[in-house]
A and B are shown apart, each in its own frame.
Chain A
Amino acid sequence: MKKFLYTFTFIILLGILFTGAALAQDKLPTDDEVNKVAHNLYCPVCQNTPLDVCPTDACKDWREQIRGMLAEGKTEAQIQQYFVDQFGDRVLAAPPLSTKFNLIIYIIPPLIILAGAIILFRSLKEWTTPKAVEAGSGAARDASEASSQKDSYVTRFEEELKKQK
Chain B
Amino acid sequence: MTEETSNAKHGVPIWTQVVIWIFVVGLLGLVAFGLRRAQNPQAAIGKPVPDFNLVFYEGYEYNGKKEMKLSDLQGKIVVVNIWASWCKPCEQEAPDLQAAWQIYKDGNDVVFVGVDYVDTPAGANEYLTKFNISFPNAPDLKSNISSILNRQMGVPETYIIDRKGILQNIKIGPFSSVDEIKSMIQSVQ
Is chain B found bound to chain A in the same assembly?
yes
Query: When the two chains form their complex, are residues A86 and B139 in contact, meaning their CB atoms are under 8 A apart?
Result: yes
Query: When the two chains form their complex, are residues B143 and A88 in contact, meaning their CB atoms are under 8 A apart?
Result: yes
How many residues of B are in contact with the other chain, CB < 8 A? 21
Distance to closest chain A CB from B38 (angstroms): 7
Interface 9-mer from A12-20, A26-34, A57-65, A150-158: A57-65
Query: When the two chains form their complex, are residues B120 and A104 in contact, meaning their CB atoms are under 8 A apart?
Result: no
How many residues of A are in contact with the other chain, CB < 8 A? 20
A65–B30 Cα distance when bound, in Å, is 38
Give which listed residue, B2, B30, B120, B139, contacts A58 with CB less than 8 A. B120
Given that A57-B86, A61-B86 are contacting pairs, would A101 and B139 also be in contact in the complex, using a CB cutoff of 8 Å? no
A58–B122 Cα distance when bound, in Å, is 11
CB-defined contacts of B122 to chain A, threshold 8 Å: 61, 64-65
CB-nearest residue of chain B to A145 = B2
- Answer yes or no: B10 CB below 8 A from chain A CBs: yes
Query: When the two chains form their complex, are residues A87 and B143 in contact, meaning their CB atoms are under 8 A apart?
Result: yes
- Answer yes or no: A85 CB below 8 A from chain B CBs: yes
Distance to closest chain B CB from A37 (angstroms): 15
Interface string of B122-154 (1 = CB under 8 A from A): 110000000000000001011100000000000
- Answer yes or no: B65 CB below 8 A from chain A CBs: no
A residues adjacent to B (C-beta < 8 A): 44-45, 56-58, 61-62, 64-65, 85-88, 101, 104, 108, 115, 126, 138, 141
